[in-house]
Structure 1
Amino acid sequence: MAKGKKSGEPKGKKITLKMAKNALRLTVDGKRRLDLSNMEIATFPKCILKLADVDELDLSRNMLRKIPDSIHEFVNIRMLDLHSNQLENLPAAIGRLQNLVSLNLCNNRLTDVGLPSEVFLLRKLRSLNLGMNFLDAVPSSIGALKELRHLGIFNNNLTRLPESLHSLPNLESLNARCNLIPSDDKPPLDPIQRVECLYLVKESCLCEPCLKRLKEERQKMDSRIDDAPAKKRSMFTGLVTPNSVAQDEQATWR
């Protein structure tokens, strides 16, 4: 083994302050957004702490395994996107981001232990995406997020939904699909609209079981299309973007 290298350490691109500054964007509503998504980053770049006054931080679609406690230095941040990484836990310091409105943690490796209770201290949070993780339960303390409007908890290991969801007065949409919740045990959520969302990731970003399941589902879909009558298949002729609705939903969650 080469000197100075540790076994098992993820390899990734090194981000310099100059690169980070070049990744700064101005959103249509005048917010400063630091977009470091899909850059093969394996370690949280410390240099971006010098840009901690940004309003939005996007570190999605990388190889991050850990978010440091220093994340609390982003005091003005309103949007934090960490989807499609390899995070197994979050620091309690995330609860100090009291201006956070949107938090996307979809497609990581979070468990109940790795999700700190401080997440539910984010009083201004309106959108929380915990989909595609390894959660066995949603803490009842989620009822403290009175401003929450959109909640994604799909593709986890949930066996029930907390009753505290009923205490969320502004909740507009809930995606709880693909869990282990028995249909007869689901509490009535009449005012809550269930929505689906789509994430596009490289196959290399998927774990082996997920990739296997994806290929199996694709084969089933192809089989159904091949077996369908020709008249039904021709309904899609000339349709340029058959997945445009799903793309709109993706934009909603990001």
Structure 2
Amino acid sequence: MRNRNGIFWGIFLLLSAALLIVSQLHLITYTFNFWTIIATLFLVFFLVKSLVYFSISGTVFTLAFLAILYAKPLGIAALSAWTILGAALLITIGLSLILNPFLAKHRPWMRIKSKMKWSRRPFISYYEDDDDDTKTVDSSDVDVFVKMGNGVRYVRSDDFQTANIQANLGEAKVYFDHVTVRDTATIKVNVSLGNVELFVPRNWNVIKGVNNSMGNISEAGTQKLTADSPNVTITGLVSMGNLKIQYI
């Protein structure tokens, strides 16, 4: 993780320096005002972060916002902002379907044991993961994969250790109120244009290490920590999505 952070800040600072020099030397005919530069730096920040963490939705939508910002010099002023964003959504869905299996090896939180079947027609696949249902999972290691659907999982375990939760263009709700953590546990999330809600015991000492790329991470409820509270680390990536941690 530290290596990725170093790469991210290195690339971001180099691009920022290049943008500053180009804007001051007037090497291009387009005139940069102060707020355009600030907005560009902000978008470049998220673009580099999305590239470093292999976030398809973050990369595509950041490029879409840059295209909207520089529509005139790019010669696409005839396109409305909604047209560009609509195209970005379709591109994100298409690239996610094509590239997610290859990107999984670069993103450990995506390595989920999903059942994949292929239809007789080439290049068409579907996932058999009970996307739109409710299930009770009795296991120390939990995998949840929701794609273009909704899923609710109730976890039951006397020795909970890990959970891998992925939501792409879908919504996942996972309840951990009937599990026991003996020492430590890890919950890995990957949210892309989706929503994940984690319902966790209020006596858990939750350690948050989630990377946020143009998404939202929130908490609700009140923690009640004691000397025996287990440490539970939540890691992963939220890209153009929402992660909510609800203490119950």
Q: Find the structure with the greater CA-based Rg.
A: 2
- Greater RCO structure (CA 8 Å; 6+ sep): 2
Normalization by structure 2: what TM-score? 0.32
Normalization by structure 1: what TM-score? 0.31
